[in-house]
Amino acid sequence: MINVIDLIRFEKLRRVSPGFSFVYVRVVSVQRTLQHHQAVQRETQRERPGGQNHPLPSRRQGGRAPGVQILRKLHHTNIGQLQGAYVSPRHLVLILELCVGPELLHALAGRSSYSEVEVRDYLWQILTAVEFLHAQSILHMDLRSENMIITEPNLLKLLDFGNAQFYNPDRVITLEGCTDYVETMASELLSDKGAVPQTDIWAVGVTAFIMLSAEYPISSEAACDFGRLVKREKIKLNRCYAGLSGGAVSFLQSTLSSNPWRRLTASECLQSPWLQETGLDERQQATVTFSTTKLRNFVAERERKRALLCSKYGLMTV
C-alpha cells in the first residue's frame, strides 16, 4: 500500500524504485489542480477514518477527477497505462506505467544524425495513438514532444493526460490561462474558439516540424504576435532541413493550417502518401540524414525554459 503522507512533498512526476519497478507515482495537489472539479473534493470526504487512502471509485457523482476517467478507458500500445488511483484529503495519487527512456527529442538529439524515415516512424506511432483517442471522443490537448517517451525497443509512449477532455461538439473546450506553451497551441485555442479533434493534429504537426527543422513553426520570441502570425499562416517551411521529400512538406502543410477544418484527421494522416511510402522511396529517404547539432541546441534552450517554469510554479524537475 502506498502511503500518500510519504509522497506529499512531490507535486510533479517522481519515479518510485526499487519496490515499484514497473510504475511511477504522480501526486497531484487537490487544492491547486482540482479546483475546477468540486466533485473530487467531495469524494475525498469519504476517506476512511485514520487518514488511510482508498481506491478511487470507478464512477463519480456529478464529476470526475481530471484525466482519471479518461486514463481508465485507454488501453493502447503507444499510451502509458493507468495502474491505479487513490485519494487522500490533499492529494490524488495516480499509479502509472513506468515508461523508461528519453523524451522524443532527446532520443533523436542523442544520435549523431537521423533520417526522415525515422521521423515518419515516430509520427506513425503518435498518430496511431491519437487516432485511438479520437475514436474514444478524447482530446489529449497537450501533445508536446515532452509528453512522449521512447522506450525499448524504439517504442513511443504518449503520457500526461492532465489536460485531456472528452470531446462534445456542443461544448466549447478551452485551456484558460494556459499560455506557457503558446508555441504549440493551435489558433482556435489562442482565439478561445474551442478545441476540436484537429487541435491535436496541429500539435502533431508542430512536433513533426521540430523534428524536421529543430525550430518551432513560429518563433516563441514573437509570442505577442503568435496568434496573428498563425492566422496568417506565416509558417516558413524553408526553415526545414534541406533534402526533405515532397511528401514531408505536404504533411506539414496539411497539419499546420490555421483553419482546423483544413487539417487532416488522425486517420487521414495515417493514410497520407508520405506515411504510407515503402520500398524504393523509403531507401532513398533514408540516405538523407540530418545532423543533430541544431536539435541539441534547441533541446538545451527548451530545457532552460522548462527549468524557469518549474521555478515559477514551485515544481520539481525529474
Ordered by start, the domain boundaries in the chain are: 4-98, 104-304
How do residues 273-293 score in pLDDT, each as one tens digit? 999 876 545 666 667 899 999
Name which CATH class applies to 4-98: alpha beta
Report how far residue 11's alpha carbon sits from residue 274's, in angstroms, rounded to the nearest whole number: 41
Domain spanning 104-304: CATH superfamily: Transferase(Phosphotransferase) domain 1 (1.10.510.10)
Phi-psi region of 126 (alpha: psi -120 to 50; beta: other; left: phi over 0): alpha
Q: What is the pTM of this model?
A: 0.78
Q: In degrees rounded to 5, what are phi and psi of residue 129?
A: -70, -40
Report how far residue 312's alpha carbon sits from residue 228's, in angstroms, rounded to the nearest whole number: 27
Report how far residue 282's alpha carbon sits from residue 293's, in angstroms, rounded to the nearest whole number: 24
How do residues 96-153 score in pLDDT, each as one tens digit? 888 899 999 999 999 999 999 999 999 999 999 999 999 999 999 999 999 999 998 8
How do residues 44-65 score in pLDDT, each as one tens digit? 333 334 445 555 544 333 334 5
Please list the residues that pair with 95 across neighbouring strands. 25, 84
pLDDT given at position 38: 37
Cα atoms found within 13 Å of the Cα of residue 86, Cβ hemisphere only: 20
Neighbours of 228 (CB within 10 A): 13
